[in-house]
Amino acid sequence: MANPQTENGYTRIANEIMDHIVRVKLSATQLDIVLAVWRYTYGFNRKEAELTDAFLAKTIGIARHNLNRDIKPLFENKILNVQRGTPDKKRSVISFNKNYDEWLVEYRTGIGIDTCQQVSRINSDTCQQTSGINSDTCQQVSIPIPVNQTTGIKSDTITGIKSDTITGIKSDTQEIQTIKKTIKKKDHARAREENIFKGRSFSPAVRSKIEEWLEYKAERKEYYQPRGLSNLLSQIENRLKEYPEMQIITLISDCMASCYKGIIWEKLPKLRAPKNGEYMEHVRRL
């Protein structure tokens, strides 16, 4: 069983740096590179280290060309500093730029870093750092909440909110956003259904079968883009000029029953043309 101990070595990172780096929009590999640089600089109580591309790639467990691709933006955005090696000295001296004001990066949105630092200070003063602000003995936190994060709450500072309340606000906000997205999708689907057959002369039977096919595709999470949907309807119109509409309806039903991704028009000539009685019975059912 693994049993790591700080007595065997540890890496000291300022909480202020951690608060910023976790909110920077980095790829997974770029974050791995930063962690590796920390390990071989701060992990040895030094600010810089001679590191080769091959060594970093082996440490992280990626191909060297992938490392070169992802480490370049870290240098360009001033998260890492580098002094390139010379022909006599191939290793580059790499260091982490702890002055985050110089970083040319984009941060994720959400509760600000100042709030994270405020919560961190309260944790260290009144609670154990690993427990969060759950104890009743913790000081109350004053956190500014923007309008776009809650409904009906102004951007004035709200006092007396503990971390568990903040979590509740986050979850409620996510639920509200989910409901809004669902309503928007339904409105979009309704508008699409109203406009889908505009300018096209499909019979009620064919129209019903097309709507059934679109529902089938939606269940498979396969949605048509406007141009693709228009092409589908044009294909159906062209086939209706050559084959009876009941034959088209039968083909679409067979494709759904066979769990096909699309309508296999090549099967259309092989289908038996329905008799008039069968066709009228199908129309009555609709």
In this structure, are strands 92-96 and 48-51 parallel, antiparallel, or unpaired? Answer: antiparallel
Distance, CA of 140 to CA of 133 (rounded, Å): 9
Q: Which residues of 229-245 are buried (b: 16+ CB within 10 A; e: fewer)?
A: beebbeebeebbeebeb
Q: What is the pLDDT of residues 14-45, one digit of tens each?
A: 999 999 999 999 999 999 999 999 999 999 99
Q: Kindly state the average pLDDT of the residues 104-113.
A: 74
Residue ranges making up the domain that contains 68: 9-102
User: pLDDT digits over 115-156, tens only?
Assistant: 555 545 545 554 444 444 444 443 444 445 454 444 444 444
Please answer whether residues 213 and 263 qualify as being in contact, where contact means their C-beta atoms are separated by less than 8 angstroms: yes
Contacts of 137 (CB under 8 A, 6+ apart): 126, 127
Runs of H (alpha helix) within the chain: 15-21, 28-40, 53-60, 64-76, 113-126, 163-196, 204-219, 226-240, 245-257, 276-285
Is 87 within a domain? yes
pLDDT tens by residue, 29-88: 999 999 999 999 999 999 999 998 899 999 999 999 999 999 999 999 999 999 876 655
pLDDT of residue 41: 95
Is 218 among the domain residues?
yes
d(CA 138, CA 76): 42
pLDDT digits (tens, 9 = 90+) for 216-247: 988 888 888 888 888 899 999 999 998 998 98
Q: What percent of the chain has pLDDT over 70?
A: 65
Any domain includes 248: yes
The strand pairing partners of 157, in sequence order, are 144
Q: Given 51, 83, 102, which residue is the final one in a domain?
A: 102
Residue-wise pLDDT for 169-212, tens only, equals 555 577 677 776 666 655 555 555 557 777 888 888 898 899 89
Instruction: Give the global pTM.
Output: 0.41
pLDDT tens-place string over residues 148-160: 444 444 444 444 5
SS3 (DSSP) at 80: strand
Instruction: Return the CATH number at 34.
Output: 1.10.10.10
Strand-strand pairing, 80-83 and 48-51:
unpaired
The predicted-structure confidence for 166-180, as pLDDT tens digits, reads as follows 555 555 577 677 776
Give the span between the Cα atoms of 35 and 60, in whole angstroms.
9
Asked if the structure places residue 96 within a domain, the reply is yes
Q: Does pLDDT of 114 surpass 70?
A: no
Is 117 a member of any domain?
no
The domain boundary, picked from 55, 86, 102, lies at 102
Predicted confidence (pLDDT) at residue 10 exceeds the cutoff of 50? yes
Proportion of the chain above pLDDT 90, given as a percent:
34
Alpha-helical regions (H) of 61-162: 64-76, 113-126
Number of domains comprising the chain: 2
- Quick one: pLDDT at residue 204? 87
